[in-house]
Amino acid sequence: MKNRIFEGCATALITPMLSDGKVDFQRLEKLVESQIKSGIDALVICGTTGEKSTLRYDEHLKVIEVAAKACNKRVPIIAGTGSNDTVYSVELCRDAETLGADALLMVTPYYNKTSQRGLVNHYNYIADRVTKPIILYNVPSRTGVNIKPETYKELAKHERIVATKEASGDISQIAEIKYLCGDDLDIYSGNDDQTVPVLSLGGIGVISVASNIIPTQMSKLCHEYLNGNTDVAREMQNKYFGLLKALFYDVNPIPVKTAMNLMGLSVGECRPPLFPMDNKTTEALKQKLIECNLL
């Protein structure tokens, strides 16, 4: 078995913004501290939920640096460093490593995409040139590329490719990945509403959007399951299912930032082209927060 990055729940942390659209680094430090005190197992910085795609290179690195310093090695910091440009990804990975990242989250190439053979070459090229462990990130609804199970099997041969965030939503595919890769590749659910199903197939945790607002609960859900208390975990999954769905009433991270603002956390809005939800959808989200005693 390869070295494991974490078990349980990692928060795909939002990037807080000021009213002028600049990154709110003071709020970021407070969020990191709050997450750690709430019992989260790891933090993903500059992923999809962290609005990586609208951060300039210097902002991207600064967010990683500030989060890593605030964390101070208390939990793993996983930096989103994937790109559709292989050489650029290497540069970003190396800078993130220097700034304190403990692991790298690598989304599949998007827009220009690539073949399955291309994915193997892309990831192995990067893995050969970095020092930290890599979590693959498979989210075909956003990228137009799906990592097939047999491709996972090939990628898992590399010593630094240790895990995947599976957000394909395809439970049968995840079962086949586990079958083909065994202990050579850890699997994290990339969808909050599939956390228990993925754990039941041998997954070891979730990279969560919901844990921005319910970190203690999402971490507890995972550890209850991993400790054999499957009934407790299943009950928690069912209890929060409505909220987990509500956090995707609009494009992520619009709803979770809206929820955090409703809860008084003052994280600002998303950067364009993401815009605030309409009043009707916001009210529906608010009702789910009330039902879960978060407002």
Query: Among all residues, which ones are annotated catalytic?
Result: 137, 165
State the greatest distance between any 2 C-alpha atoms of the chain, in Å, as a whole number.
Answer: 49
Residue given tokens 């919901």 in the structure block = 210
Q: Compute the distance between CA of residue 27 and CA of residue 44 in angstroms, rounded to an integer.
A: 16
Q: Compute the distance between CA of residue 195 and CA of residue 197 in angstroms, rounded to an integer.
A: 6
Evaluate the CA torsion angle 212, 214, 217, 222 in order and state its sign.
negative
Which residue(s) pair with 207 in the sheet?
10
Distance of CA 34 to the CA centre of its chain: 17
Q: Compute the distance between CA of residue 81 and CA of residue 285 in angstroms, rounded to an integer.
A: 31
Beta strands in the chain (DSSP E): 8-12, 42-45, 77-80, 103-107, 134-138, 161-166, 186-189, 205-208
The helix/strand/coil state of 153 is helix
- Name the nearest CA neighbour of 243 among 195, 196, 284: 284
Residue given tokens 């795609």 in the structure block = 53
